[in-house]
Chain A
């Protein structure tokens, strides 16, 4: 198990006698009063017996009836002992900032301030993370309605007077004015040099809607900050109102480039929480789909990054392969992009006839395509010049900022969830984890190419296994938490009742909490869930890999030119849907 064991946690008491230790099935938590939290975190980080060096996540849970009201949750990881720990504390409004310990906490604290209104003492620039500066509410508090305060008359300009749509409301939540956005911008960055350049939010090169602010001296970037939230859709708030199955489609729409991988990370977490074991076949299907999706995602990365750096041909080539992959996914899951293919306890459909053949054909053909791409790029002089020595990350950065995925591995840290905490069939497949040596953008390019080859290898193993498991069940429907298949619902009354109950009341998860993550193409995608024994999660926190990876951008870009920003952003490969949620 990846959690610190009870004994080791108990021995913390010698230094911190007031510690409260709790062990859940899937998480070990220690709780301490607010005054001592910094000491405890420091101790955990620096004591060589624990060495929880790596920052994973920080979040807040709101308990309106509890006094003090907010519970702060820190998740840490120890690379030496391969352990995780959750540290908690309670507060009413302020917390000490942990940025001196982990730089990666800066954005997480801004987010907590934005969503819950908690102030952080000693934070260098505490501004709102996602919403604009003049926004008056704290949306993730339990007493804030999910649909917001509709106080602005904002009717549809296309409205027909006589045919109102069924839930159409001319009143709407307030949208900011351009002045509001200017205030937001001013608060982030102070002009110290020649000019402050806005890059984004609606710029083709920013991979979505990220808004960069560069303080420029000539071409050189002296200072930089990033405004996120141009795609903040409130998924965490929505999730509190949905059953566990209903959340699955939202995980697609978070990281839409690797929808299946997000599905898998989420469903695995829920299954652990509920104690559901998926069938053997489902596990292999999931592994195969995840790897197909990983190739798909890396191809999009390759195409768009090359396009940003001027290589239009790559874009057309990779999209050709992507279309093939999309066809495969559409054939299996029914939808091209946001497929919502997973279900608790298995997958939505069995593999259709011929799916394996098509995939076989694809993996046979694909290595030669990779070779084409490599021929075009790896030794290409322009490509090397644009990418080499851009954005070098060190091992220390990885721990400080909580970098995961390719970012961590390019610095030589073997942090891969598929390896340190294998879910599904990953413990049974054979693959390698490529590591970088320099940690620059060029390394990350090489790693992604190598990862695609490894994915092909995994898919081949999955195909072999799936051919053996041809007639197995793909959904563990005997489990009380698993929705029956359509046929069963039509044919038996018990299945129909079960279906009805699960859909209306949700899966009544046992009380407890869980943090489980999956290896997304963009880093560790973790789900921290608090269940109160109801059919809906009390709080769902999404630990987004891209969010933490992007955080190092301002540090890496300082002293470089604007042209490097494009290459660096490409190599970090964030997806706004996931960073903003």
Chain B
């Protein structure tokens, strides 16, 4: 963005304005899965107050652009979570909050999905069990940075995203 003198004129590109708007009004879906969701609620509530960053939790996936996967994704809930992700309008981002969502966490069991990135692509991983509200805010800021850099043409150490493939059983 370029400001010319004191004349009150700002020169910019459409891309830039869009990106500026997007990163400053990230609206997450309020989906809570497990313990991490409590910390997500704390982030939204009194002390940390995400509203001041333009982050407002929405009840419907159709109004939101960020999915914060807060908690353990078990196999049974995975297809439904994917459905929610697919219902969100583009552009959309995913934050994986906590050990469970990022890689199974402390539950290497028969019923737990070992990382939500096996069903939906993830933009930011936040470590912790559970991550503190500060950590979640950090994660959100990372996402904002990512959105900004993308617009500027600089790819933030991009993790190559594969094309989602159907899950198929192996033939023995």
Q: Is the CB of B75 within 8 A of A173?
A: yes
In the complex, A175 Cα to B111 Cα: how many Å? 9
Q: Is the CB of B75 within 8 A of A171?
A: no
Residues on A with beta carbons closer than 8 Å to the beta carbon of B129: 338
Residues on A with beta carbons closer than 8 Å to the beta carbon of B126: none
Q: Is the CB of A320 within 8 A of B118?
A: no
Specify the chain A residue showing the minimal Cβ separation from B30: A204
**Contacts A208-B33, A315-B45, A337-B35; is A202 near B84 (CB within 8 Å)?**
yes
Q: Is the CB of A157 within 8 A of B120?
A: yes
Q: Residue B76 at the A interface, CB < 8 A? A: yes
In the complex, A496 Cα to B163 Cα: how many Å? 51
Residues on B with beta carbons closer than 8 Å to the beta carbon of A176: 75-76, 78-79
Q: Residues of B within 8 Å of A, CB-based: how many?
A: 57
Q: Is the CB of A250 within 8 A of B35?
A: no
Interface residues of B (CB under 8 A from A): 30-35, 37-39, 41-42, 45-47, 59, 71-72, 74-81, 83-84, 103, 106-115, 117-122, 129-130, 132, 159-162, 164-165, 167-170
Q: Is the CB of B162 within 8 A of A139?
A: no
Q: Which of B38, B46, B113 contacts A323 (CB 8 A)?
A: B46
Residues on B with beta carbons closer than 8 Å to the beta carbon of A154: 118-119, 167
**Contacts A148-B111, A153-B170; is A338 near B30 (CB within 8 Å)?**
no
CB pairs A–B below 8 angstroms (20 shown): A131-B111, A139-B110, A145-B110, A146-B108, A148-B110, A153-B170, A154-B119, A156-B115, A157-B122, A158-B159, A173-B75, A201-B80, A202-B77, A208-B33, A209-B33, A252-B35, A253-B35, A303-B45, A316-B45, A326-B42
- Distance between B64 CB and nearest chain A CB, rounded to angstroms: 12
In addition to A137-B110, A233-B74, A337-B38, 17 A-B residue pairs with Cβ atoms within 8 Å of each other are: A145-B110, A149-B110, A154-B119, A155-B165, A160-B160, A161-B160, A172-B113, A173-B110, A175-B78, A181-B76, A204-B30, A204-B31, A234-B112, A319-B47, A322-B42, A326-B42, A576-B34
Complex interface: stretch among A188-196, A224-232, A522-530: A224-232
Q: Which of B32, B80, B118 contacts A208 (CB 8 A)?
A: B32
Q: Is the CB of B72 within 8 A of A231?
A: yes
Q: Is the CB of A234 within 8 A of B161?
A: no
Most chain B beta carbons < 10 A, residue from A132, A137, A153, A257: A153
Most chain B beta carbons < 10 A, residue from A158, A233, A337, A338: A158
Q: Residue A577 at the B interface, CB < 8 A? A: yes
Residues on A with beta carbons closer than 8 Å to the beta carbon of B107: 233-235, 238
Q: Residue A48 at the B interface, CB < 8 A? A: no
Q: Is the CB of B83 within 8 A of A178?
A: yes
In the complex, A350 Cα to B38 Cα: how many Å? 27
Q: Is the CB of A253 within 8 A of B106?
A: yes
Give 7 nearest A-B pairs by CB, closest first: A148-B110, A234-B109, A319-B45, A256-B35, A320-B46, A175-B75, A158-B117
Residues on A with beta carbons closer than 8 Å to the beta carbon of B38: 256-257, 300, 337
In the complex, A147 Cα to B47 Cα: how many Å? 39
Interface residues of A (CB under 8 A from B): 130-132, 137, 139, 144-149, 151-161, 165, 169, 171-178, 181, 201-202, 204, 208-209, 229-235, 237-238, 249-250, 252-253, 256-257, 300, 303-304, 315-317, 319-320, 322-323, 326, 336-338, 576-577
**Contacts A233-B111, A234-B111; is A152 near B76 (CB within 8 Å)?**
no
Residues on B with beta carbons closer than 8 Å to the beta carbon of A235: 107
Specify the chain A residue showing the minimal Cβ separation from B44: A319
Q: Is the CB of B167 within 8 A of A233?
A: no
- Distance between B132 CB and nearest chain A CB, rounded to angstroms: 6
Specify the chain A residue showing the minimal Cβ separation from B168: A153
Residues on B with beta carbons closer than 8 Å to the beta carbon of A317: 46
Q: Which of A149, A153, A208 contacts B37 (CB 8 A)?
A: A208
Specify the chain B residue showing the minimal Cβ separation from A255: B35
In the complex, A578 Cα to B75 Cα: how many Å? 18
